[in-house]
Each structure stands twice: as C-alpha cells, then as structure tokens.
Amino acid sequence: AQSVAQPEDQVNVAEGNPLTVKCTYSVSGNPYLFWYVQYPNRGLQFLLKYITGDNLVKGSYGFEAEFNKSQTSFHLKKPSALVSDSALYFCAVRPYILTGGGNKLTFGTGTQLKVEL
Amino acid sequence: DAMVIQNPRYQVTQFGKPVTLSCSQTLNHNVMYWYQQKSSQAPKLLFHYYDKDFNNEADTPDNFQSRRPNTSFCFLDIRSPGLGDAAMYLCATSRDVAGGQETQYFGPGTRLLVL
C-alpha cells in the first residue's frame, strides 16, 4: 500500500527567506508525486507534479520540488517566501498503473506554512 | 475558463434531514471524485466515477450516495446527516489514461454544517 508522510505539522519562516516543506513517500514501483495548496475555506489548488525526467520540478507561484528516489522524498521549496504563501500544503502520491480506473491519490496529513513579516 | 464548480459553497442542514451537494465541470474529464475533509485533515476519498462506473471506497458509510447523470455533473447525497458528517466536501475531476499521471483538479468545496 502506498503512503505519504509530512513530518512537520507546521513550518514557520520569515518573509524573504527560503522555505522547505518536507514530504516522503512509500509506493511500489514508480511514483507520481503531487503538491497541492489549500487556503482557508477553499479547495485544493494544484502546484506541481513529478512524473518522470528532471528531478527538479518547477510549478506555480515560484514553487519547485526536488524528487530524490534514493531518499524517497519530494520536498517542496521556494527561494523567497511571501506572507501570501501562508496556507496548508498537501503532498500526494500515486503509483504507476497499467490501466484506467480512477486516479486515486494518497495524501499526506498536511503542513501548515506560516510566513511572517 | 475550464473549471470545477460546487454549489452551494455553504450548506446548513438539520440532523437526519437529507441533503444534496452538487458538482459540475467544464473540463470534460471522465473521472469525478468526492472527498470529505475535516478540520484541515487530509481529504478522504468517499467514491469516484470512472465514466458511468461507480467506485465506492470500502469504508464509506452507506449514508453517503452519489449520482452522475452525465459527464458534467455529479451529486453527493447524504441520506441522514449526523453531527459527525459536518465537514468540507470536495469534488475533483481528472482525465484517466493508462499510467495515472493525470492531475486531479478540485472545486472550491462545500462546507456542510449539521444542526
């Protein structure tokens, strides 16, 4: 069975500083990895995903994530945090499958990012 | 813009009174999902439709039902809401192709309050 771990419930960072939100995964076979962001009382917004190829994936709003197969990690990063980045971030994984039948994701428990002035 | 729409955004119902939440999409995706999310926890998949095929998660209570009359619309019916069913309900859609790399796109959610 696949699983995702987000070891930090909350990450605090000062505006302008780099931020990292951690994610590790467990899956049989090749993983597809996703990051979503959720603002209060809103749905999940897609940020980026890793499918194959370059281990550094660039996404929306200046976010990027690095896929590390040996460490089974997919940490979310941003070089310079903004107060408006404060939100709940979810990592998700899905293994490669041969046939259709629904794109079932397994989500982590979420990390609350707080960016302060 | 292509999108996933959920109505209403906020729904108040009484204990035991049936309620229906709706979702529509303009993305023409063949897969639609319903998730339940409580208190900033991870979304929990209730069920999904792959075209017209309904797929229920093993731990989804019988109290929750769904209908998909056409590609664009999907409904979540809660037959007898209990206080524990108060949550944010998220609809999502995706294309589904072999491999599974397609992104799920979420609607803004409906927050359900049970009195």
Number of structural domains found in chain B: 1
- Count of C-beta atoms within a 10 Å radius of residue A26: 13
| Domain map (residue ranges) of chain A | 3-116
Confidence bin at B28 (pLDDT 50/70/90): very high
Q: What is the pLDDT of residue A30?
A: 83
Residue B56 in contact with partner chain A when CB distance is under 8 A: no
Q: What is the pLDDT of residue B99?
A: 64
Q: What is the pLDDT of residue B98?
A: 63
Mean pLDDT score, B39-52: 91
Q: Do B96 and A94 touch (CB under 8 A)?
A: no
Alpha helices (H) along A1-117: none
The residue that leads in pLDDT, B101 or B30, is B30
- B7-19, pLDDT tens digit by residue? 999 999 999 999 9
Q: Do B99 and A102 touch (CB under 8 A)?
A: no
Residue B67 sits in a domain whose CATH number is 2.60.40.10
As a whole number of Å, the end-to-end CA separation of chain A is: 41
**Do residues B98 and A99 lie in contact, with contact meaning Cβ atoms separated by under 8 Å?**
yes
Residue count of chain B: 115
Give the strands of the sheet with B4-7, arranged side by side.
B4-7, B19-25, B73-78, B64-67
Q: Do B101 and A32 touch (CB under 8 A)?
A: yes
Residue A35 to residue B22: CA distance in whole angstroms? 26
**Do residues A116 and A103 lie in contact, with contact meaning Cβ atoms separated by under 8 Å?**
no
Chain A positions touching B41 (Cβ under 8 A) are: 109-110
Beta pairing class for A56-58 and A31-38: unpaired
- B56-106, pLDDT tens digit by residue? 998 999 999 999 999 999 999 999 999 999 999 999 999 876 666 789 999
The percentage of chain B sitting over the pLDDT mark of 70, rounded to a whole number, equals: 95
Q: Which residues of chain A have pLDDT under 70?
A: 97-103
Chain B positions touching A35 (Cβ under 8 A) are: none
**Do residues B27 and B3 lie in contact, with contact meaning Cβ atoms separated by under 8 Å?**
yes
Alpha helices (H) along chain B: none
**Do residues B37 and B88 lie in contact, with contact meaning Cβ atoms separated by under 8 Å?**
yes
User: Which residue type does A91 have?
Assistant: C
Phi/psi of residue B84, each to 5°? -75, -5
Query: How far are the Cα atoms of B80, B82, B115 from residue B86, in angstroms, in the given order?
Result: 12, 8, 9
Q: Do B50 and A100 touch (CB under 8 A)?
A: yes
Q: What is the pLDDT of residue B96?
A: 77
Q: Mean pLDDT over all residues of chain B?
A: 93
What residues contact B68, with CB distance under 8 A and at least 6 apart? B32, B49, B52, B54, B74, B75
**Do residues A112 and A9 lie in contact, with contact meaning Cβ atoms separated by under 8 Å?**
yes
Please give the residue range of the domain that contains residue B44. 4-114
Q: What is the pLDDT of residue B38?
A: 94
What is the CATH number assigned to the segment(s) A3-116? 2.60.40.10
**Do residues B10 and A60 lie in contact, with contact meaning Cβ atoms separated by under 8 Å?**
no
Q: What is the pLDDT of residue A103?
A: 60
